[in-house]
């Protein structure tokens, strides 16, 4: 074999080796990237730590505008839940059938573990301002007003069947939209946690 042919053969071999190295390097890089991606995808989603029960002086704050329910223990925020509201979400509840979620200060008057909406916590609507407004606007009479005030003083369920409306609950079955008749709706797993964390008498503040 003459020298030019030998030189050409050597150069061709070097090109093949270089190409092979590039392909192998690319394959190794792809495998590393794939392994890294699989490692990331297999990592479990971070879950919040379990609530430390019992809570100390629990309190619930609902922020309607932000679609959030905040749970406090001794004035420390321990949970934030996404919520849905009434079909008419803006403004305070005024009367039966307006589909508004009431605003103001309340308390939980009952816990229902056989609710049609999974689990529910009864909110003490109508409260004092609602009763006073209802009496002024002739939606309720003096006897109904007195019954509401008596129940609120005793931390019991105020009358639920006046023209002011009632049956306002924090319950489950989904927080993806405003779909209730004035209640506060959570995802089922969230109402289950909240239901187990609070008791009757827990204060509830609902803000615009």
H or E stretch including 7?
helix 3-42
pLDDT above 50: residue 27:
no
Q: Cβ atoms within 10 A of the Cβ of 186, count? A: 27
Question: How high is the mean pLDDT of the chain?
Answer: 84
pLDDT above 80: residue 13:
no
Residues 204/193, Cβ–Cβ less than 8 Å? no
pLDDT at 49: 87
Please give the model's pTM, rounded to 2 decimal places.
0.77
pLDDT at 48: 74
pLDDT > 90 in the chain, percent: 76
Beta bridge partners of 120: 112, 171
Q: For 109-121, what is the mean pLDDT?
A: 98
Ranking 49-53, 67-71, 116-120 by mean pLDDT, the lowest is 49-53
Q: For 9-22, what is the mean pLDDT?
A: 41
Q: Is 59 exposed, middle or buried (0-12, 13-18, 19+ CB in 10 A)?
A: middle
């Amino acid at each position: 074999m003459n020298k030019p042919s030998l030189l050409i053969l050597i150069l061709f071999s070097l090109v093949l080796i270089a190409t092979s190295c590039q392909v192998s390097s690319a394959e190794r890089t792809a495998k590393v990237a794939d392994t890294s991606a699989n490692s990331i995808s297999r990592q479990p989603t971070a879950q919040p730590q379990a609530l430390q029960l019992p809570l100390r002086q629990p309190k619930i704050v609902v922020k309607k505008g932000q679609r959030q329910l905040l749970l406090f223990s001794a004035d420390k925020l321990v949970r934030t839940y996404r919520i849905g509201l009434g079909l008419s979400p803006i403004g305070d509840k005024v009367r039966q059938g307006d589909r508004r979620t009431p605003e103001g200060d309340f308390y939980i008057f009952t816990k229902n573990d056989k609710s049609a909406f999974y689990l529910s916590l009864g909110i003490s609507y109508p409260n004092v301002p609602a009763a006073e407004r209802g009496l002024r606007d002739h939606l309720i009479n003096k006897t109904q007003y007195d019954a509401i005030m008596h129940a609120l003083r005793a931390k019991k369920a105020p009358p639920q069947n006046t023209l002011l409306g009632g049956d306002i609950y924090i319950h489950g079955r989904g927080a993806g939209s405003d779909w209730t008749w004035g209640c506060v709706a959570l995802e089922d797993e969230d109402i289950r946690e909240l239901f187990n964390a609070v008791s009757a008498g827990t204060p509830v503040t609902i803000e615009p």
